[in-house]
Amino acid sequence: MENVSTGLKWAIGIILTLLIVAAGISVFMVTQGYFQRGQEQAVSQSVALAQSEFNNYENTTVTGTDVLEAIKRYKDRPFFSIEMKTLLMTGYNHATDKKCYSAANPSVSVTCTTLVTHTLMTDQTQATYVNPTARFKSSIYKDGNGVIRHIRFEQQ
């Protein structure tokens, strides 16, 4: 009788251990989906925050002062370019990598030929002068990964 009692205790212990392990596994499986969904939301929010600095330039009308500010702010950003079309000329501003991205295909970079610096844009004797009160239509362009690579300002 004692052997039966000991065997029963062992069997009940094994069954309880299996139930506890199964409950732990099921809780893990349920929470894994929540953790993955939370991670995806955190990534999308961080991307939205990173891209929010460009919201002012997404299909809006800005002044020449805003164009000059954008040139100063993004002049050293790698893999990024700004295209500026005035009534007299078209020029690009880019980082030291001398790469520009076109509005047609922002995923492909090309070597820039017409560099327009902030200094040239504020010099009233140059054809590249940007009047601070002029109105520009601004557009942003993203590459295949959804990263903003190009801003285009076109004088109205």
pLDDT 10s digits, 91-121: 777 766 666 766 666 666 666 666 777 777 7
Q: What is the mean pLDDT of residues 23-48?
A: 85
Q: What is the mean pLDDT of residues 28-43?
A: 86
According to the model, what pLDDT value does residue 106 have?
66
Helix (H) or strand (E) holding 101: strand 99-101
- Give the C-alpha separation, 116 to 131, whole Å: 14
At residue 136 the predicted structure's pLDDT band, cuts being 50, 70 and 90, is: very high
According to the model, what pLDDT value does residue 9 have?
86
pLDDT 10s digits, 85-95: 888 777 777 76
CA 6 to chain centre: 65
At residue 50 the predicted structure's pLDDT band, cuts being 50, 70 and 90, is: confident
Residue 106's contacts (CB-CB under 8 Å, 6 or more residues apart) are 141, 142, 143, 149, 150
List the strands of the sheet with 90-94, edge to edge.
Answer: 60-63, 135-142, 148-155, 81-85, 90-94
